[in-house]
C-alpha cells in the first residue's frame, strides 16, 4: 500500500539509528520490489512474487524472512536489507490498516467502506508530498542518484534503475502539501514495528555500528 517516498522515509529513519545502512545500496534496495511497475502496474502474480506475498500477514512475514536467509550470502547486507524493509513496511501498514483500527477510524469520519482504502492510499501520497523539501529526502535523492542496482528476486537491474529514474522524476514534479490523516507519528509507529521484526529475527547486523 505505501509508495516509494514513504518506504524511503522508513529506511532513512532506520539509517539514522544504524548509520551503516545510510548507503546508496540500502535505498535502492528499498525501492527494488516495486520496480516491477516500471512499465505499468504489474499483474497480481508478478506483484505477489516480487513481494513474497501471502494472504495471511504472518505467513507473508515468514516468507520474506525466509527469503533473507536464503539470499544473505548473495547480496551486500545493506542492499538485501533495503529489500526486506520495503516488504516488512508493506506488511506492517496492512496490519495497521486492517487489524489495528485505521480502517475503522476512516469509515467513522473520513470515507465510506468502499472508499476507505483509496482514501488511505491518497493520504499516504499527501504525506509524501509534505516531505519533499525535507533534508532527509534531499540526502536520499543524492544517494539514489549514485546507486547501482543488482538483479534480485527475478527483478532485473535495468528495471530497478528505470524505476529509480521514474520515481525521482515523479517526485521532482510533485507539489508540496501539508500532511493530513497520515502523519509523522503514524510513520514512526510503522517504523518501530518494522525494527522490532528485524531485531526479533536477527536481520539487523549490529556489528561495527
According to DSSP, the residues that pair with 155 across neighbouring strands are 152
Other Cβ atoms less than 10 A from the Cβ of 104: the count is 11
- Cβ partners under 8 Å of residue 110, min gap 6: 116, 119, 181
Task: Give dist(CA 43, CA 30) in Å, integer.
Answer: 21
Tell whether the torsion through CA atoms of 12, 16, 18 and 21 is positive or negative: positive
- Residues of the chain with pLDDT below 70 are 206-209
- Matching residue, cell 499527501: 126
For the stretch 78-117, pLDDT in tens is 999 999 999 999 999 999 999 999 999 999 999 999 999 9
Q: Cell 515468514 appears where?
A: 62
The pLDDT score that the predictor gives to residue 206 is 60
* Predicted local distance difference test score (pLDDT) of residue 209: 43
Counting residues of the chain whose pLDDT is more than 90, the rounded percentage is: 97
How many separate helices (H) and strands (E) can be counted in the chain?
Answer: 10, 0
pLDDT score at 87: 98
User: 40 burial class (0-12, 13-18, 19+ CB within 10 angstroms)?
Assistant: exposed
Q: How far is CA 33 from the centre of its chain?
A: 9
Q: Give the three cell numbers for residue 171.
A: 517526485
Question: What are the boundaries of each domain within the chain?
Answer: 4-200
Structural contact between residues 50 and 36, judged by C-beta atoms closer than 8 angstroms = yes
Set of cell numbers at residue 143: 544517494
Amino acid at each position: 500500500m505505501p509508495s516509494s517516498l514513504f518506504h524511503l522515509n522508513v529506511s532513512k529513519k532506520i539509517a539514522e539509528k544504524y548509520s551503516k545502512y545510510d548507503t546508496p545500496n540500502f535505498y535502492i534496495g528499498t525501492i527494488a520490489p516495486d520496480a516491477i511497475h516500471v512499465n505499468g502496474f504489474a499483474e497480481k502474480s508478478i506483484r505477489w512474487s516480487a513481494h513474497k506475498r501471502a494472504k495471511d500477514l504472518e505467513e507473508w512475514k515468514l516468507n520474506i524472512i525466509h527469503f533473507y536467509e536464503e539470499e544473505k550470502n548473495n547480496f551486500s547486507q545493506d542492499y538485501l536489507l533495503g529489500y526486506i524493509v520495503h516488504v516488512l513496511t508493506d506488511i506492517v501498514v496492512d496490519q495497521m490498516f486492517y487489524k489495528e483500527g485505521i480502517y475503522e477510524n476512516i469509515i467513522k469520519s473520513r470515507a465510506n467502506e468502499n472508499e476507505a482504502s483509496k482514501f488511505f492510499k491518497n493520504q499516504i501520497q499527501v504525506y509524501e508530498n509534505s516531505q519533499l523539501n525535507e533534508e532527509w529526502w534531499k540526502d536520499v535523492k543524492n544517494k539514489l542518484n549514485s546507486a547501482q542496482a543488482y538483479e534480485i528476486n527475478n527483478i532485473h537491474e535495468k528495471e530497478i534503475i528505470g524505476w529509480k529514474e521514474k520515481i525521482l522524476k515523479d517526485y521532482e514534479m510533485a507539489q508540496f502539501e501539508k500532511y493530513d490523516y497520515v502523519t509523522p507519528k503514524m510513520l514512526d509507529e510503522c517504523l518501530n514495528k518494522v525494527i522490532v521484526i528485524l531485531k526479533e529475527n536477527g536481520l539487523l547486523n549490529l556489528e561495527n555500528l
